[in-house]
Every structure is written in structure tokens, then in C-alpha cells.
Amino acid sequence: MGIQTHRTFCRFCHANCAMLVDVEDGKVKSVRGDPEDPEYGGYTCKKGRELPDSHNSESRLHHSLVRSEDGEFRETPMEEALAHVSGELRRIIDKYGPDSVAVFMGSGGYQNSSAWAASHSFAQAIGSKHFFTSVTLDQPAKVFTTARYGKWEGGVNNFSDADVALFIGNNPIVSHYAPVGGVPPFSPSKRIRDRQKEGLKLIVADPRLAEVGQLADIYLPVKPGEDPALLAGMLNVIFEEELYDRNFVNAYVDGVEELKEAVAEFTPDVAAERAGVEKDQLVAAARMFAGGSKGCAVTGTGPEMAGNGTLTEYLVTALNTICARFIQEGDRASAPRVFTTPRAPTRAQVADPVPMFGAPGMNKSRFRGLGQLGLEMPCNVLADEILTPGEGQIRALISVGGNPEVGFPNQLKMRRALDDLELFVQIDPWMSASAKRADVVLAPSQCLEREDITNLSEWWHETAYARYTEALAEPPGDVIDEYAMFWHLAKNLGLQLQLAGGPVPMDGDTPPPKEVFLDLMTAGCLVPPSQVRKDAAKAGGAAVVYNELHPIVEPADPDAQNRFDLAAGAMPTELTRYGANGAAANGFDFKLISRRSKGRFNSIGQPLKKLGLTVTTNPAYIHPDDMAAKGIEEGDVIEIASAHATIHGVAKPSDRVRRGLISMAHAFGDSEAGKHNVREMGGSTNRLTSDEVDYDPITGQALQSAIPVRIATA
């Protein structure tokens, strides 16, 4: 039939870039950006441009694998593999109870628009509380703790309207991520530069002069883990100089006096000294941010992973709140989100509180006083829930596009936990580090072989932008969509899957069409996926923008009583505790900070020739002066030791890293990495961390950046 060109979108990461894909005889030949898309304008990143390799790679799994009694994997038809998993799950549930089964949704699983709903509904149908996602590994405070201080129904200021922006440890040019209000991850560098031409002032705080920092009007090389000092110092200046929005604060905000008292100790001199920045720059940044009329402070994953994550996110929330960085009555609401359900109100008022943790009836774990966060359990306790006997012990784990061995802290402990399971099922197109430890590896279809909607990326769209893409390539071998896997497992176990719109049809031998599943999943959304599918088909597969349905922020309800509360929970007294406890060296004179890699999305991308195989190691970037002081040459293998473990790295000089730091990518390599193969495999920084010490008492998030270490040539 020759080459056919289709419009679609990438699902390598959450940016969902618009693409044109060439398909010949059911096989992906090439991809490129779609220059006619109104949001992306032809933009793609290097990861997405490797989708042909991802789909056609010789190392991709075309068949599921089941480990036989001799310990070896054998290729197994999907139906047989699912029947085997179902039988093992039934045995385990009958013996230990429903909480003995856990489901983990990883970064790869999120790229399938139906996988979260399918996996969560499966866990619910079993009756297990043990549902985990990668959110609690890297950014739980953004999702689960800031909402308790208050949420504005109309949303925060959009980046396209901002005249000032503050990025704290956020490098959207590489990570293609920013919270709502930050730069949308669609051609982020161009978006920033275009806004700067229109007058945007950009402030960037980061221990490393990352790509976005090179565009900043003010760059603050904050010490890793000391973001609270920087933010408290900025708040001190804003309060002292009365630069905040007093009308908004008086009308909507409680707890301001407590916050003022807490930041009073962080004078510019004190804050700058602890944060490791120049006092004049800190003051200038505070004035620049507060002097803007619109624009938000946002963080990346690094500040949360560096300790004090909840405190950092609280101070960011406080900064945005007292400066009233919210969309007001009569304007279009931010991030209208076509597929999100339930639809939130859009009035010019503070929303009703939503219990995120600690509410009566929410589940508790057996460890460290941690419990349910929103709809999930914290990843911090997963290894212990597997390894520790007793009621509720996890005996079976299904990992959906995750890589627990590489992505979790305390790597060697997680490895022991995976080996201790009676059933470990890894859904993965590759023999990842975790797949190698599994009892069953289920081979899924890849993104251009399935239908999907843009529900993941719509949190960053400032317009009512939506897509429904068709399956464009033929799936090889015996692979199926993840939602179908969970449907078959539920069917085999006699379970009923439930979604927002009601029960999923379970009759017959095949799952309902994906369109039906997606409609049930998004019931009550702005436009049902089935309608978007029709509209997209009329547009030749292109995006549909529902401008006429974009919610407008309505006047406040006259009876509205909700207010922001900046003194909720342990805040801001936690800032006082932080201020009284300076950072201790404990014999470690360096700190290791995590970084993003252009060639990977967390641990995803390693098997692809132009991404993982051309840069096999995980370079340890160190300031040249530190290398000289330690007698380290470029390319030397170095030993990096924390209080918990030791890894190896290949030294690489970089004057963009402040002295006293090492910068390495997280979620790299696997537990087999060592000195002997570091140049081929790269060291895994997750091995240096512990889930039992240095963790957030609310979210359980372990320290995964700003890790105290010492270094020496190996």
C-alpha cells in the first residue's frame, strides 16, 4: 500500500507532542513534529523522535514470558500467561487476603491513557489497599500536601499571561515538566524566549546552572536541600516591604501572621548565607517576583527529592498565595482539561477542602506512621510491606510500566523485596532490570499501536485542547493493551471493574472497545472521548480545541466561607524547626544531586540505540576545581559513598555545578552495576539512599537528592 502519513501524538513522556507518523505495511517508518498543530508547531524532543526504534527494536518483547520451574523464562501465549497470573493471584488472595496483592503504576504506565484507571479499578475490585504510583517517589508534596492550605477554583495564572516566573529546581527544557502555572512542556525553550521578548522576567534557583538557568534574568545557585531558606528569605523581604497583595490576603487568607513570625528569623543575611546565594540577588529576586502582576513560583522534582519537600512546597504555595497569583472572575480558567473528571467548580473563591491524607477511614501502612495519600499508598513502605510477615503482607506485585529495582530508594532492599514475592508480574516491552527479576513479564502494545487520549498532558494545556488518536501500526507478535490485561485478569478472577461512569462490561471473551472504556473512565468530563474521536476524525486526526467550552471563572458564591489557611497542619512551625537545625556534614564533604537526562525519561530509553546505547554510563559531573583538589582526572572511575552504600561513577568536569556537589542522573543502571561495569552500565544513585531515614514524615518520600557523600578515585 505504500507509505501512509497519519496525525498522532507521542507517548514517550507526559508532553504528548503532536506528531506526523509514516507507516508502511503496518510498520512505523518515521516520525516528525506536526508543524500545523496549534500548540506544538512542529516541536518534538530527541526521545520522541526515537519511536520507530522503540516500536521496531530487536530487543523489544513480542511475547510474554513465564519463568518455569528451572528458573528460565519461556515464551508464553498471552492468554496462557494471563491465566497463569490469575491462578496465582487466586491462590495468594485465598491464602493471605486481598491486601496481599499490590499494584504499582510507573512512569511508563502513565503513557497509556487508560492504564491508571484500569490498574486502580483492578486493585479496588480485589479489595486491596496496596495501590502505588511513581508520584509518591518524586513529587508527592505537590499533589498531596499543598491542597490542604487551600485551592483556588479558577486556578493559578497561566504562563502565557505571566510577566514574572520563578522556577525552583525545575528544568523544563530537559525534563519537559512543570507544575500548572509553569511553562507548558511543549517547545519550552521557545515559549520562555518568546515570553521574555514580551517582557517576562525569569528567576531560576538551582544548584546547577541547567539549560533554563542560562535564560534567567536572575540565577540563584541555591545549595541543594536549602530551598526553604531561600523561599523564607524572599517571603521575609516581601512582608517587610509590604509587597504582597493585602486586599487578597485580607479577603481570603488565614495564617498570615504565623507565617510572618516564622520567616522573621530568615532575614536576607541569614537566608542568603544558609541558601548559599548573594544577599542582593535574593532581595532582587523577591522584589522582582512580588513586583509582577501575574506569574507563579513552581518547582521541579529535585527540591522535593532533596529533603524538606513538604516544607518547600508549602513555602511555594505561600508565596503564590500572598501574591494572589490566581485567575479572577470573568477570565478563562487555567488548564481547562477536557477529559478530567469530576469537573471542579470554577468560581472566584477557595475550593472546599479535599482529604488527601490522615482523614478518618483512610488506610494506614504498618511502617513509619505513614498512610494513604489521596487514592494511593506511599511507595516508601512497599519494600517493608513485602519483606515483613504479618497481616497485610504483600505477596504479589503487578508493576505497570514501572521499574522498582531502579526507581525506588534503598535499591538493594527493593531487590530483596522483589525476590521475596511469591508472584512478581512486570508489564514491560523490555527486559528491564525489574523484568529480569519477575516471575511473569507481560508484553504490552506500544503507543502507535493503540488508541489513546491526551488526558495525561491536558494539565499543561492552557486551552481546551484534546486529541483522540487511532491505532496506526500493527502490534507485533502477541501483545495487547494494558487495560485489556487487567480486564482479562478481573474476568478470570470473577471480579467486576468499576469506573467513574459505572461498571465495565465484563460479558463475553473480549474486553469492551477502548472507546467504551475511556468514556466510562472520564464520565462527567467536558467532552467525552467518543465525541472527541468523531471531531478528530473530521479534522483528519488533528487536535480539537473546544474554545467555546472553556470554563469562565464565575463570581464567588455569596455564601462561600472557605479561606486559605497558611497555618494548617505542621506549618509554618516546621520552618522554625528547619531554621534551628543546620545541615550537618557527618563526615561527608560532598552532596550528590539528581539531574534529568535528555536521552531518558526516568529509567525509560536505555535499550534504544540513539538514546541509551550511545551514552552507556551515568557521568558524575563535578566542578573542575573539586576534581583538581581530589586528584581526579576526567574519565577516572570514582567511588561515591553515602552512609548507606557505595556506587561508582565516571568523573566528568562541569563548571555549571557549584563546588561541593556531584550531579548524576537518577533511575539509571540496575543493582548489578559496580566498578567492573560502570562504563557500560552506569551507577544507580538510588542505591545510596534509604527509605528508613531521611524521609518526609507525611509523604514518606526518601531523600534522593542532596545526598551527603564522599568521593575518591576507585
Same-domain status, 106 and 240: no
Helices (H), 306-456: 309-322, 382-387, 404-407, 411-420
Q: Tell me if 288 is assigned to some domain.
A: yes
State the residue for C-alpha cell 503496518.
26
Q: Which one of 575, 609, 634 terminates a domain?
A: 575
Residue 84: give its domain's CATH number.
3.40.50.740
- Of the candidates 611, 591, 610, which has an alpha carbon nearest to the alpha carbon of residue 601? 611
Specify the amino acid at residue 546. Answer: Y
H or E element at residue 610: none
- 437: which DSSP letter? G
Q: Tell me if 534 is assigned to some domain.
A: no
CA–CA distance, 464 with 411 (Å, rounded to integer): 41
CA–CA distance, 46 with 611 (Å, rounded to integer): 8
Beta-strand relationship, 164-168 and 297-299: parallel
Specify the amino acid at residue 116. Answer: W
Beta-strand relationship, 646-653 and 637-641: antiparallel
- Of the candidates 172, 159, 158, 161, which has an alpha carbon nearest to the alpha carbon of residue 213? 172
CA–CA distance, 334 with 677 (Å, rounded to integer): 48
Residues 560-585: tens digit of each pLDDT: 999 999 999 899 999 999 998 875 55
Same-domain status, 602 and 679: yes
Ranges of the chain with pLDDT below 70 = 1, 583-586, 597-607, 609, 611-615
For 247, phi and psi rounded to 5 degrees? -65, -45
- Of the candidates 433, 440, 426, which has an alpha carbon nearest to the alpha carbon of residue 75? 440
CA pseudo-torsion sign 231, 235, 237, 238: positive
The 10 Å Cβ neighbour count of residue 70 is: 6
The predicted pLDDT at position 596 comes to: 73
Residues 511-539: tens digit of each pLDDT: 999 999 999 999 999 999 999 999 999 99
The size of the chain, in residues, is 714
Contact partners, residue 494, CB within 8 Å, separation at least 6? none
Q: Tell me if 78 is assigned to some domain.
A: yes
Contact partners, residue 214, CB within 8 Å, separation at least 6? none
CA–CA distance, 297 with 167 (Å, rounded to integer): 6
CA separation, residue 674 to residues 430, 599, 606, 622, 666 (Å)? 22, 22, 17, 20, 16
Same-domain status, 432 and 376: yes
The predicted pLDDT at position 655 comes to: 94
Q: Tell me if 344 is assigned to some domain.
A: no
Contact indicator for 402, 430 with CB cutoff of 8 Å: no
What is the span of the domain harbouring residue 183? 140-339+564-575
User: Count of alpha carbons within 13 Å of 282, Cβ hemisphere only?
Assistant: 27
Residue 18: give its domain's CATH number.
2.20.25.90
For Cα atoms 102, 103, 105, give the angle at the middle one, nearest 5 degrees: 150
Same-domain status, 244 and 308: yes
CA–CA distance, 376 with 132 (Å, rounded to integer): 5
Specify the amino acid at residue 623. Answer: H
- Of the candidates 193, 187, 196, 185, which has an alpha carbon nearest to the alpha carbon of residue 41? 187
The 10 Å Cβ neighbour count of residue 582 is: 9
Contact indicator for 259, 235 with CB cutoff of 8 Å: yes
Same-domain status, 400 and 518: yes
H or E element at residue 189: helix 188-197
The predicted pLDDT at position 584 comes to: 58
The predicted pLDDT at position 252 comes to: 98
Q: Which one of 35, 56, 77 terminates a domain?
A: 56
The 10 Å Cβ neighbour count of residue 711 is: 22
CA–CA distance, 218 with 230 (Å, rounded to integer): 13
Same-domain status, 391 and 299: no
Same-domain status, 160 and 45: no
Q: What separation, in Å, do the N-terminal and C-terminal C-alpha atoms of the chain show?
A: 58
Query: What is the tally of structural domains in the chain?
Result: 4
Q: Tell me if 332 is assigned to some domain.
A: yes
- Of the candidates 429, 307, 519, 319, which has an alpha carbon nearest to the alpha carbon of residue 11? 429
Q: Tell me if 352 is assigned to some domain.
A: no
What's the farthest any 2 CA atoms get from each other in the chain? 72
Same-domain status, 571 and 590: no
Same-domain status, 239 and 386: no
Same-domain status, 120 and 46: no
For Cα atoms 131, 309, 692, give the angle at the middle one, nearest 5 degrees: 60
Cell readout for 127 is 479489595
Q: Tell me if 480 is assigned to some domain.
A: yes
The predicted pLDDT at position 38 comes to: 94
CA–CA distance, 320 with 123 (Å, rounded to integer): 37
Secondary structure, 3-state, 219-260: EECCCCCCHHHHHHHHHHHHHHCCCCCHHHHHHHEECHHHHH
Helices (H), 323-403: 382-387
Residue 159: give its domain's CATH number.
3.40.228.10
CA–CA distance, 418 with 66 (Å, rounded to integer): 16
Indicate whether this model's pTM tops 0.85.
yes
Q: Which long-range contacts (CB under 8 A, 24 or more apart) does 504-509 make?
A: 504/121
CA–CA distance, 50 with 440 (Å, rounded to integer): 27
The 10 Å Cβ neighbour count of residue 11 is: 26
Same-domain status, 675 and 603: yes
Same-domain status, 632 and 500: no
Q: Tell me if 248 is assigned to some domain.
A: yes
Residue 650: give its domain's CATH number.
2.40.40.20
Contact indicator for 659, 625 with CB cutoff of 8 Å: yes
Q: Is the bond preceding residue 342 a cis peptide, omega within 30 degrees? A: yes
Q: Which one of 513, 547, 575 terminates a domain?
A: 575
